[in-house]
Amino acid sequence: MNTTITEPIAEEPELEEPRLLPGDFAIWFFIFAELLVFGIAFISYAVVRIQNVDMFNQYQLTLNRELGAANTLLLITASYFVVRAIHAIRLDNVKGCIRWLYASLGCGAGFLLLKSVEYNDKFSEGINLGTNTFYMFYLSLTMFHFLHVILGMIILFAVAIKAQRGGYSAQDHIGIETGASYWHMVDLVWIILFPLVYIIR
């Protein structure tokens, strides 16, 4: 009598469905809209600058490039920390993810502090939006970005709090990717804004 032994077939783990963009797809509509607004503002700045080269070159020299460079380093470092946070949560290292998120928030706070020092210096000199066309663009662009840094930090803080409450895991961390995507947009805008307003002559 032949006896056939049937071995149980091991179930294959469900693979995460690949996504075209990281995070919640809805955030990308917001990101693209924000990039469009900044893009229009940058083009407007470039066009007006071409028409007022001497004035823009003169007042550009009054900007604190050292603080601007330090802020660039802070935002790039913050983005690196956010990447590390995502890497940690993918390994189910929740505590590591939380630490990296708070490290990125520390860099963001450093950016806001240095930018506030820069604004204070300008305001103490009597400079405001109505001083001239260059300062109008400088203050408008950087303050608009400043507000986006604050919003980005609020999002990352909310993500960190949810992570502390056990809201994310290696299998479910789309919220972290969503916050990271927005933060990288904020970083990208500054990487364009800094040389455009502070350096390029």
What tens digit of pLDDT does each residue of 82-99 get? 999 999 999 999 999 999
Contact call for residues 114 and 67 (beta carbons, < 8 A): yes
Considering only 110-114, 139-143, 170-174, 175-179, which range has the smallest mean pLDDT? 170-174
Asked, for residue 6, whether it belongs to a domain, the answer is: no
Q: What confidence tier does 20 reach under pLDDT thresholds 50, 70, 90?
A: low
Asked, for residue 128, whether it belongs to a domain, the answer is: yes
Asked, for residue 112, whether it belongs to a domain, the answer is: yes
Give the separation between CA 120 and CA 127, rounded to whole angstroms: 10
Asked, for residue 101, whether it belongs to a domain, the answer is: yes
> Dmax of the chain from CA atoms?
101
Give the separation between CA 170 and CA 160, rounded to whole angstroms: 15
Phi, psi dihedral angles at 8 (to 5 degrees): -65, 140
Q: Count of domains in the chain?
A: 1
Here the CATH number for the domain that contains residue 72 is 1.20.120.80
Asked, for residue 117, whether it belongs to a domain, the answer is: yes
Asked, for residue 34, whether it belongs to a domain, the answer is: no
Alpha-carbon separation of residue 187 from 55, 77, 183, 191 (angstroms): 28, 10, 6, 6
Determine the pLDDT at residue 19: 61
Model pLDDT for residues 97-114, shown as the tens digit of each residue? 999 999 999 999 999 999
Asked, for residue 16, whether it belongs to a domain, the answer is: no
Determine the pLDDT at residue 201: 84
Asked, for residue 1, whether it belongs to a domain, the answer is: no
Model pLDDT for residues 49-58, shown as the tens digit of each residue? 999 999 999 9
Domain that holds residue 87: 50-199
